[in-house]
Structure 1
Amino acid sequence: MARGEAEARSLLAEYGLNDLPIDPEQVAVRLGASVLRHPGPAELSGMLLRRDGQAVIGLNDTLPPARQRFALAHLVGHLHLHRQRDLLLDTVERHALGNLASLPTDREETEANRFALELLAPETAVRRAAVEADFRTAAQLVDLLAPRFDLTRSTMAARLMGLGIILDV
């Protein structure tokens, strides 16, 4: 298991977070960060700033709510995993999951993505939901599970493919 996934699982267990959908803001606050939402340019999903022992996560509130959730979980991943980073500007394409051509190659971005996916869609919960779901096609499964985990369709598809539950949508 990759570091990002392991750390997300550890935090979920430590904080007793089991109810879906998981609230990434609750995790951010427990880690000592403040979360602020403000309008921003379309290409900016959020930012992380650390100064004088304090951490602030800023989110672009013009993004759709499910994208804001993933951006927040991704930035919480950076907060928890990459403590040496004092400033991080996170653009939409840096953690895009729906387009294979834009998948991150940077180790920290990959770790933050894996952290975010495990935080928002824990593997055991996704596997359980997939077994319990009544579906005929991969696309139907994605459509059923995305709202349950409060993820975009493309993020849910990426999660299901990453876990080997589906091959394609």
Structure 2
Amino acid sequence: MDMNWLKLFFGGGRNAVVETAEAFMENTEAGAQRRADYAQSALGQFGAEFQVPRKGRFDRFMDGLNRLPRPLIVIAVFSLFASAMYDPLWFAERMQGLVLVPDPLWWLAGTVVAFYFGGRFQMKSQEFSQAIAHSTARLPQVLDNIRGIRALRHDSPGVAETGTDTALSQAATKPTDNAAVRAWREGRK
């Protein structure tokens, strides 16, 4: 009787325990084989794309052109970081100009970039006119900000103006003993 019980589970070339377990869990060996087959077919398809001989200059030009956007975007982003460190006032002026760009235009730019990299993005047309009006309303504030940024330049007129600070005015006009000025004066005599 014990043998019949064992044959029920393991007899006839079948394993009822394994078959039952595979109904609830993936067979890891079979799963690994499926993933390997999938990867192999994907690599074969990818490799077949490059088996087509490129005959003309136009094909080579288009291949090169298709490879440009990603590196150019990366270079542009890191160039912005570098310019922010090199000339913060120049960078701040340009960023103030970007404040005027309406949100739908940012969405459109994001859509183009996302579509290029494989994603899709949808823009709502009702919000377009609201965003333009909102951006236009910010124009006076942006212009004031640009004027304020330009006033921070070292070569701006009146940048050394002391204003109503009398102590600073007296300190700025009080002659001091400067060896370089003294040498220059003596050299002119």
TM-score (norm 1): 0.22
Larger-gyration structure (1/2) = 2
* Higher share in strand: 1
Say which structure, 1 or 2, has more relative contact order (CA 8 Å, 6+ apart).
1
* Higher share in helix: 2
TM-score (norm 2): 0.20
